[in-house]
Every structure is written in C-alpha cells, then in structure tokens.
Amino acid sequence: MGRTGLRTAVVQRRVTSLIAVASALGVTAALGGCGSSAGSGDVTLKLVAADYGDSKANSSQKYWDKLTQAYEAKHPGVDVQVSVYSWNDVDAKVKAMVDAGDPPDLAQVGAYADYAAAGELYRAGDVLSIDTQADFVSQLSAAGEINRTQYGMPFASSTRLLFYNKTLFADAGLTPPESWSDLASDAAALKAKGVKYPYALPLGPEEAQAETLMWLLSGGDGYTDTVGSYSIDSPQNVDTFTWLKEELVDKGLTGPVAPAKLNRADAFAAFTRGEVGMLNGHPTLMKAAAAKGVKFGMVPMPGAKGRSKATMGVADWMMAFKKNGHKDQIGDFLDYVYSDENVLEFSHEYDLLPVTTSASEAMALDKDDADLVDFLGELPNAELYPVGQTSWAAVSADIKQRIGEAVSPDGKPGAVLGQLQRAAAAAQNAG
C-alpha cells in the first residue's frame, strides 16, 4: 500500500469513530473545524518557527520557504510569511510579540500551555480538518491537551534509546545491558579497560530534565502521578537517584566531569570521539557518530529489573493564535503542513519522527528509514514532559539547575528531590 493509501486507511478509521461521536452529540459541524477552505480575499499569515538546523545550509528557513512557495502557488490569495529563529531566541520572540499585542497567526515552538491558559489560542478542532486532527499520534495529541481539549498541535517528535559503542563493548567482551545491574556491570568493565566515560550522565543545566525523566521512567515512575500532580520525590524516584549515586557516580563510572557540570552536547561530542561507552541519545546522534566513524548500537533503556516499560518522548508544538482571526486560512494552511509529504520531508531532513500515524506507518515501511525504525517503535510507550501544565517551564528550569546535586559527593537524593517537589507543587498551585 502506498503512502497515500496508508494515510487514507488510517484516517478513515479514526474519522468514522469521530463522526459517530460527533453525530451523537449533535456537534458534527464544530468537529469539522473550518480548515476546508482558505476563504476569500488577500490574507497574510505570519508564522514564527524554530530552527532545527545546525548551519545555514540546513536551516529550517529553507524547509519553510519551499513549503510556503508551493502552498502559495495553489492559493494566490494567501501570503505566508515565516520568520525562523534559533531555539535560544524563538520563545522570547513569540512572547515579545504577544506582550506587544501583535501575536503571529502561528507559532512553532517548544510549549503552548501558557498561551492556551490565557485564552489566546484556537482549539485544534477549530482550525484543523477532522482528517488532520484524527491522524496525530495519540500520545502526542493527548500531550497537547488542557482539560481534555487540544490546543497544542504536535509538529516534531523524538524518542530516546541507549547508545553504546560497539568497538568498546567488543574489546571488553560485553553485550548491551537489559537491566540496571547489567548497565553497572558493563560500566565497571569499560572503566577497567580505560574508557573515559563508561556511562555518560549529563545532568548539567543544558538538558538535565531529559536525562532525569529517562531514569525516573526506567525506575517505574516519572514527574507526575496518574492525576497529573507532581510526584518528583516519590519513593521510586528517590530509589532511582539513590541507585544512580551509589552504583554509578560514587564508583567513578560516569567519567571525569561531574554529572552536574556535564551537558548533553558535551556528552554527545565525547561519544563521537569514541570516549563514551554508553549514553542516552536521540536520532540526531546517529548521523554525528557515523560521520566520525564510530560504530554504535542502540537498545531500549534498561529498567531496574529488565527493560524499561516506558521511554521518554519529546514533542515540539504548533499553535494558532486567535487575535488576527484568519481561522479559515490558518486551518487550510495547517492541513497542507501536516500532509504526509511535508511531514516526512521535515522528519527526514532533521532525523525526527513523524507526528502523524499515516506518516509514521509510511516511515516504518520505507527501507530508507530503517535507522529510525527503532526510535519509532518506542513512540507508543513514550511518556512526554507534562507540557500541559503552565508550571512546567518553571519546574523544568529548577530541575536543570539542581538535579545534579542529588548525585554529588555530599548529595542526598531524597532531600534534593523533596526540595524540587515542594517547589513544583507550589508552582502548580500558583498556576
């Protein structure tokens, strides 16, 4: 079955159920959104987007320029202006525009909850066609919801796997770990062979919230409980960080740089130099490691007593602002953005996972995408950051700055996690 056929089949199954529910509630028209027509008259849509490239040569501006030119050729009454900013600047740019009373029509950034809570966003169902909204991967759709209403539209996603250096493992006579005890044993053997970073544990301020969540999930818990309240200092989470400190860090198995000072980018760079035995990584590390001639393998994150039941997923978001109107034009443009062709082109360019079911199934069947299939297979079990919480930005920033203390020489995991929990609960209650 071709990619178009896949999309049609998947969407049709979901659309049928949605229409049935909608008809029962008498709201079929509302569920349909207003994305089926671009409307009449000349309209300018402004989109602010993040840059996923690492140089001018592969800047996301090129992706958007190609996409918008093709769209405008078929919609002469709509002009789409896209401004692309680095991840260091894009959130601040959008906030400044909103604060000035001149928000863009669309923004593609890392979070949506604050704007949704302030009533500034269209609901996804207000702008997207039923086909498009129904085709989002279910875990990503759910993460885009506040009070069971979707505002955040997933735009890009990824999962994490444990990378290991095949050469270093072969030299030490090792097999990839399946449990924490395996990982610790492998790390000890790598250290005995003189490997600089047996297991790289980046708990520095760049992306400590990611490494933390991967370990919390592998220990059987996470950042929140089943009702969405923060549970950072749960017994399972304290046990996880106690094990990390006692079995890896205190035994010198995480390398010469203290975890609190080791950033993800530095850990990835060390892996591409052949200095790291194991670390958690996302798809972009594959290309970087291969370019440096590093032979690597990838396995699911080990759990406390076997394979972890959940892995970490990450999504970035598209959101539509109400201020300027343009609902019909926004919806029509987004339906084009989320076509299989465009979703797959973006995913291929930046080694990311598709956010729609039909494009995911097409990727899984494409032999050219074989290196991404393992990551794709983890998506159904993925747990994302609690991005629907307006408090998450503050909580994430706090974790980045403080979690490394939990595994420091004098650190007390329970105390540090308890402090983070109290701050998180206060932020959640304030919101």
Q: How far is CA 363 from CA 78, 212, 347, 354, in A?
A: 31, 29, 9, 8
Q: How many Å apart are CA 188 and CA 199, to the nearest integer?
A: 9
pLDDT digits (tens, 9 = 90+) for 97-151: 999 999 999 999 988 999 999 999 999 999 999 999 999 999 899 999 998 999 9
State what percent of residues in the chain have pLDDT above 90. 74
At residue 317, the 3 state secondary structure works out as strand
Is the pLDDT at 25 greater than 50? The verdict is: no
CA angle 110, 343, 7 (to 5 degrees): 125
Regarding predicted confidence, which is higher, 267 or 206? Answer: 267
pLDDT digits (tens, 9 = 90+) for 349-367: 998 999 999 999 999 998 8
Is the pLDDT at 277 greater than 80? The verdict is: yes
| 340, 3 contact by CB (below 8 A) | yes
Is the pLDDT at 10 greater than 80? The verdict is: no
Q: Residues for the chain: how many in total?
A: 431
Looking at domain 161-300+391-430, its CATH superfamily turns out to be Periplasmic binding protein-like II (3.40.190.10)
pLDDT given for residue 254 in this prediction: 98
At residue 298, the 3 state secondary structure works out as strand
Tokens of 260: 């609190």
pLDDT digits (tens, 9 = 90+) for 337-351: 999 999 999 999 998
* Backbone dihedral angles phi then psi of residue 138, each to the nearest 5 degrees: -60, -40
- Rounded to two decimals, what is the model's pTM? 0.82
Is the pLDDT at 6 greater than 70? The verdict is: no
pLDDT given for residue 54 in this prediction: 77
172 contact partners, CB below 8 Å, separation of at least 6? 186, 189, 190, 192, 193, 195
Averaged pLDDT score across all residues of the chain: 89
How far does Cα 417 stand from its chain's mean position? 23
| 327, 127 contact by CB (below 8 A) | yes
Q: How far is CA 84 from CA 59, 138, 329, 421, in A?
A: 8, 28, 20, 36
User: Quick one: pLDDT band at residue 431, thresholds 50, 70, 90?
Assistant: low
Tokens of 216: 């919390």
**pLDDT winner (highest mean) among 16-30, 45-59, 290-304:** 290-304
pLDDT given for residue 194 in this prediction: 97
Decide if 3-157+314-383 and 161-300+391-430 have a common fold.
Answer: yes
The single residue listed with the structure tokens 């894009």 is 90
CATH number of 3-157+314-383: 3.40.190.10
* Domain limits, the chain: 3-157+314-383, 161-300+391-430
First-to-last CA distance in the chain?
Answer: 48
Q: How far is CA 25 from CA 1, 19, 349, 413, in A?
A: 35, 10, 42, 50
Q: How far is CA 226 from CA 120, 304, 338, in A?
A: 28, 21, 31
Per mean pLDDT, which range of 10-24, 47-61, 108-122, 269-283 is the poorest?
A: 10-24
User: Quick one: pLDDT band at residue 28, thresholds 50, 70, 90?
Assistant: very low
Radius of gyration of the chain (CA): 22
341 contact partners, CB below 8 Å, separation of at least 6? 3
Q: What is the DSSP letter of 152?
A: P
What single letter denotes the amino acid at residue 173?
G
Regarding predicted confidence, which is higher, 135 or 33? Answer: 135
